[in-house]
Amino acid sequence: GLKTQRLTTPLIKQGDQFVAVQWKDALAYVADVMHKVPSDEWLAVAGQLQEIESMVALKDLFNSFGAENFAIDQLPHTPPTTFRSSYVANSTIAGIEEADALLLVGTNPRHEAASLNTRIRKAYIHYGLDI
């Protein structure tokens, strides 16, 4: 799962090895490279386990520097939209308690999102949410 796949220590490639560094050093390295390379040569790649809001933040960051090259490491390779309303549902997490129905596909919030699961359970028990 995500617990074993998360990057907890940044790595910088030195020669043919990846070396663990502090986050401040990794971010300084990225900033240095970003200033040296023309933005039309940048490429942002988002992995298939990345959620949409982080992808949009990455796309917005690159766009703010004039970079337009964005790819997603999954099919279809459709980059996220610029408008938040195109990928956000019509409810907030707190708004789940006011929803009439909830469709969960390929997820188990009990194991993957405890705080979300608490809202869902509350809505189911107290308000009769259709799941």
List the chain residues with pLDDT less than 70. Answer: 1-6, 74-91
Which CA distances in Å does 78 have to 30, 34, 86, 126?
25, 24, 13, 39
Q: Which amino acid is at 72?
A: I
Instruction: Please name the residue that has the structure tokens 């549902």.
Output: 89
Three-point CA angle 70, 72, 73, nearest 5°: 135
pLDDT of residue 131: 86
pLDDT of residue 6: 63
pLDDT of residue 62: 87
pLDDT of residue 5: 61
pLDDT tens digits, residue range 66-87?
888 887 776 555 555 555 555 5
